[in-house]
Structure 1
Amino acid sequence: MSLFSENLSLEQLVSDNGWAEIPEEFVTREGKLAVIKEGRWFLPCETRAGWVNIRRFGSPILQWLMAKYMIHTAQVTSSIHAVSCVDAVYSQLKERDFFNKAVVCADPLLLKPALIEQMERMLTRLKIKRQLWNAYRPIRWYLWCAEHYPELGFCEIYASELDSLRIPGGPKGEAVRSLDPEQGPLHPHLEVSLITNALRTDTGTEYEHYQQRAAVALANTYGRNPGNFIALREEDVYDELDHPEDPVWVIKIPRIKKGFRSARSDFIVEALDKETFRYVQELIQANQAYESLVEVNDIVTPCARPLFRLDTPNHMRLQTGDYESAFHMYSVGFGKLLRDFVERMDLISPLTKQPMILSARRFRYTVGTTYAAMGVSRRELAYRLDHSDEQHVQVYYDIMDVLTYALDKAAVLEYSRFVHLYCGGATISADSIIATDALIVTDEHSQPGDVDAIGACGLNDLCHKFPPFSCYLCPKFRPYKSTIHEYLLDSLVRMHNERPESQTLGVHRVDVILAIGQVVKMCQGVSA
């Protein structure tokens, strides 16, 4: 009992009822050790810091009960669930400084009416805010305490009333349904193209830059939760055929959903496209500058080599003896990599005209809507997004009728201010003396020198891309100051709106459209 605020009457109740004392350590459902030091529990959570300050609950009775409930949930469900439940009880019941006032309350008879009044205030507040789902965990805590420890100030009759309440689920997928421009799926043409181009043009060589590129590329490609990505290790990227001359690179992504005691107890193997592999491989190479060793009691212990690693070992994991995962970062660290990439690359959303908001959840929504548009089955989509059941992916199919990403010329010219896909030179006058073999024409019937010529090429060899469309994405291109670019823009916008699913240009059509928009603005003498 000395680990908490001392209370003789509570100690007597524990002794009289034969209740088990609070242990100083126990093993969680994941099979890892949890320890208590100075009134704080250290739980080995994989995705966040797992320490819990028991003393903040004020009353010695509430401190003791919260420790008991935390141990129960950590052993039955998971450590992360235990931490989340304790945090939810505190955040929802702390109104009116309840826990600080409860410090002097050592009598269960006095605590009982105060708890009921606080629970009722919480329910009233959440009903007014239309956020009743936030009451679920505090209610489950009260029911558990009333069932196991009613002698400590929990009313069994009131518990039965709480149990009869219908608590709705949270508004999952609301940002997807509303296509929220800040929290919903990223616009596949305007925002995703901007992110892809930023990845390709990023030349940063600091260690964090390699981490940022790999984080953005993986989130954009697979749409998993941060917990999936932070559990990755270098060994999870490998050549499936083990053929050095013609490798087939894959990535083994850990699963984190229900039924798994640890993220690394089950995996989904995914193919790695060339660009994503490049960013991941660069990060692995950058990781080689760091050792994964910790010194414990003057003994050097090797640790796993995570893909997204910390510079120094995680203090919380060292406290619980989880040396294997000492260098794995938390989910908040992964989210920070995405936000830092936006700030460093100055990504401005064409839709909101504000810095783009990037999160693993937004990438997840984007991948989900993309797969649904491709006609992937619900079962397959749930598996690919690591969902626990098919019900959670229904929202992506519900919005298919409103997912129309039409473009018009005025919008393209406006968006081109933010989506800088054109990387060629400045415009040149149409009467400039250009070698005939360096002219680019709009179709195979045109001849060098015709009015249809769109500009000059700095490439001496034959272009194996897809001119003239690929020219607008080429750094060697110098466009004529001509209205021909507007003609091409009108044609491609019309083609896109008639057949948005078709990409028959040989290069990504929307990228070309946005790049041409920049050239049109340049020809008009307007800075894009």
Structure 2
Amino acid sequence: MSLLASYANANAEFYTREGYLVRFDGERWKLSRDIDIPMFALSGAMSTELFLSFRHVLAFYAKTSAPSHARNLFERCKHYVEATVGLPLFSVESLISYRSKLEMKTEWYLGTLRGFIRQWADLGYTGIPRETLSLLDKWTLKGNEKGYAVQSMCPDSGPLTDIEMEGVTAAVIRDYARNRLELIDACYAMTLAMTGRRPSQITGLKLRDLTQQSDRYFINFPRAKQRNQPWRSAFNKFAIVEDLWLLLQQQAMQVRQAFAKRLGGEVPADLVAELPLFPALDAFDVRSELSTQLSGDRLHAPSVSVKESMVLVAKTTKVFSERTGVLIRLNPTRFRYTLGTNLAREGKGEFVIAEALDHSDTQNAGVYVRNIPEIVERIDKAVALQLAPIAQAFQGVLVVSEVDAKRGDDPSSRISNGAVNLGNCGSYGFCGALAPVACYTCNHFQPWLNGPHEAVLDGLINERDRVLEQTEDRKIASVNDRLILAVSDVVSRCNAMRREVARG
């Protein structure tokens, strides 16, 4: 394309792959509800002619590729430009200089940039010297390092342990029941925990994606990170448990009510199924046809809302890690890592893991299989007593005797192990949990100072050892590990309180 023709098209507008109208010469390009590219950041770093060519190439990607891919290309170009100030852009010397500044972990930056430069040349825009293309063809570049957080079992960004995951899900349910968490935050957290899906897949859901077949429940997740495929053009069905189904049905009902309120009447029957499960209600325009607005992604919550929700969930639930003794940091990626890690520990292969994580190939799934992190260690009594204060799995209140307990005057509140009483339940509601062991992780439980808690602990640890010996499966044997820590915490607190009483 001639420079004159390029200038003639400079003021044109184009539609992104997601259907967003973008002004070619705009300072910012909004490619989707989540992706916004600050084009002005490079306008002063290139000549007028070079920047025009650059925009045409990036526009090609914006029209044909996923918005996140186009943004990644922009960021890699920006990093290159900022690192080679004073050198002719896209020259041999600038690329050699840039490569020398990259580390082993970041050499993939240049690999991404090389693909962009090759496409630039293939499209016929000016700005890429032939010698640059020859140099890039000769280079062998390392790819993006995959799986560091998984292989290192990083306590801040890697997979959650079983104890951590159980603590998080229990706390989400507890705080939602107490109205400390909004329904949408509980839905985000439990969907991530049980499916490991990406935020864009969760926020891309519509009401019709929740399906039921007899007594089985499914979510049809739209696939993500699929190049050259429009939004919601491919799906993968994921089986879920009834508890998550019921929670999401509450969310669906709330969505219908919210749109009916905005419309001033019921949502048309043929459009109910098209409503977003997680809507961006502020984007709704009462002056426009609802059917038109539902055809794109504008009424769907941005993907970043899931990440923001997990920050809020972590702050609200205040679940401590038994590994670090500090509050667990939550983000969507950790739940994906956890799902993949658990599958690898169960002996699943790369293809099964790739399918479960909705990967198009096995190049990322391999990291789980090649270095399976063993995150279920043997927990004996000494280890449990040491970890208990760190994990803080016990949520109740230790009392000296029944006299000090809430509902202490109600014999029906007593918790027994079948032989003797251990404490009281402070709740007036019905509870179907298996007493007394399940009580130790409940915030309503009030164990007595002189209750036989150590005997309960010994029984749980002996049962763990028995199951491990019979099954040789640590995953199965570890099912009560958080409960063991909770009982251990009670034992430790009782010992500490007795010492205080003895000192007077």
Both structures adopt the same fold (TM-score exceeding 0.5): yes
> Which shifted more, 194-203 or 471-480?
471-480
Structure 2 residue aligned with 1:14: 3
**Contact 1:256/1:262 (8 A) holds in 2:** no
1:175 and 2:143 are equivalent in the alignment? no
Give the conservation status (yes or no) of the 8 Å contact 1:423–1:473: yes
What corresponds to 2:267 in structure 1?
none
> Is 1:139 matched with 2:114?
yes
Which residue of structure 2 lines up, in the alignment, with residue 63 of structure 1?
Answer: 51
1:341 CA displacement: 0.9
CA contact (8 A) 1:46 1:227 kept: no
Q: 1:49 to 1:460 in 2, by over 3 A?
A: closer
1:227 Cα offset (Å): 1.6
- After superposition, residues 325-336 of structure 1 pair within 5 angstroms as 325-336=297-308
Show the 5 A alignment for 1:27-42. 27-29=15-17, 32=19, 34-36=21-23, 38-40=25-27, 42=29
Specify the SS of the correspondent of 1:86.
Answer: helix
1:185 touches 1:362 (CA, 8 Å); kept in 2? yes
Partner SS for 1:390: coil
Matched, 1:45 2:32: yes
CA distance in 2, matches of 1:384, 1:503: 19
Does 2:496 correspond to 1:520?
no
Match of 1:493 among 461, 464, 468: 461
Task: Give the counterpart of 1:165 among 123, 131, 139.
Answer: 139
- Residues 357-403 of structure 1 show CA distances to partners (whole Å, capped at 9, x for unaligned) of 21111100101111222333432321121011123212222233644
How much does 1:352 deviate?
2.3
| Corresponding residue for residue 90 of structure 1 | 78
Residue 119 in 1 paired to residue 95 in 2? yes
Q: Which residue of 2 aligns with 1:383?
A: 355
Whole-angstrom CA distance in 2 between matches of 1:171 and 1:257: 18
Q: Is the 8 A contact 2:168 2:317 kept in 1?
A: no
Structure 2: which amino acid aligns with 1:134? Y
TM-score for both structures, normalised by structure 2 = 0.80
Structure-2 separation of matches of 1:414 and 1:330: 43
Greater shift in the superposed pair: 358-367 or 68-77:
68-77
- Other-structure match for 1:244: none
Secondary structure in 1 aligned to 2:398?
Answer: coil
1:404 is displaced (CA, Å) by 3.7
Task: Say yes or no: does 1:363 pair with 2:350.
Answer: no
How many Å separate the matches in 1 of 2:197 and 2:436? Answer: 37
Structure 1 pair 38–170 and aligned structure 2 pair: CA distance change class (3 A)? closer
Farther-moved stretch of structure 1 (174-183 vs 420-429): 420-429
C-alpha displacement at 1:24, in angstroms?
Answer: 1.4
C-alpha distance in 2, partners of 1:314/1:414? 53
Q: What amino acid sits opposite 1:492 in the alignment?
A: L
Could you say what secondary structure the match of 1:496 adopts?
A: helix
How many Å apart are 1:46 and its aligned residue? 5.7
Deviation at 1:94, TM superposition (A): 1.4
Q: SS at 1:270's partner residue?
A: strand
Q: Deviations over 1:81-103 (max 9, x none)?
A: 2232122201232136x3xx89x
Q: Which has the higher helix share?
A: 2
Return the offset for 1:236: 1.6
Report the AA paired with residue 366 of structure 1.
T
Unmatched tracts of structure 1, length 5 or more: 1-10, 103-110, 242-246, 296-301
Distance 2:28 2:444 in 1: 61
Name the aligned partner's letter for residue 358 of structure 2.
D
Q: 2:192 aligned with 1:219, yes or no? A: yes
Task: For residues 12-61 of structure 1, give each alpha carbon's deviation from its aligned partner in whole angstroms, at most 9, with x where no partner exists.
Answer: x623x99984461334456x354216534635436433664463544212
Bigger Cα displacement from structure 2, 225-234 vs 38-47: 38-47
Distance 1:57 1:503, change over 3 A: closer
How far apart are the structure 1 equivalents of 2:293 and 2:429?
61
Q: Which residue does the alignment assign to 1:26? A: 14
Distance in 2, matches of 1:461 and 1:44, equals 51
Amino acid at match of 1:201: R
2:172 corresponds to which of 190, 199, 208: 199
TM-score scaled to structure 1, two decimals? 0.77
State the shift of 1:329 in Å.
2.3
Map of 1:6 onto structure 2: none
Structure 2 gaps, min length 5: 264-270, 499-504
Q: Percent identity?
A: 22
Alignment check: 8 A CA contact 2:279 2:301 kept: yes
Correspondence 1:121-520 to 2 at 5 A: 121-127=97-103, 130-149=105-124, 152-189=126-163, 191-203=164-176, 209-241=182-214, 248-258=216-226, 261-291=229-259, 304-313=274-283, 324-400=296-372, 402-417=374-389, 419-429=391-401, 442=417, 446=419, 453-455=421-423, 465-474=433-442, 477-482=445-450, 484-496=452-464, 499=467, 501=473, 508-520=479-491
Q: CA deviation at 1:210?
A: 1.7
Residue-pair matches, total: 477
Aligned-partner Cα distance in 2 for 1:426–1:293? 47
SS of equivalent residue, structure 1 residue 454: strand
Deviations, residues 225-278 of structure 1 (Å, cap 9, x unaligned): 11211111223223334xxxxx64322211114356134112222233133234
Question: Over aligned residues, Cα RMSD in angstroms?
Answer: 4.1
Match of 2:60 in 1: 72
Query: Structure 2 vs 1, CA of residues 130 and 261 (structure 1 numbering), >3 Å: closer, same or farther?
Result: closer
Distance 1:158 1:328 in 2: 43
Tell me how far 1:143 sits from its aligned partner: 3.1
1:118 Cα deviation after fit: 3.1
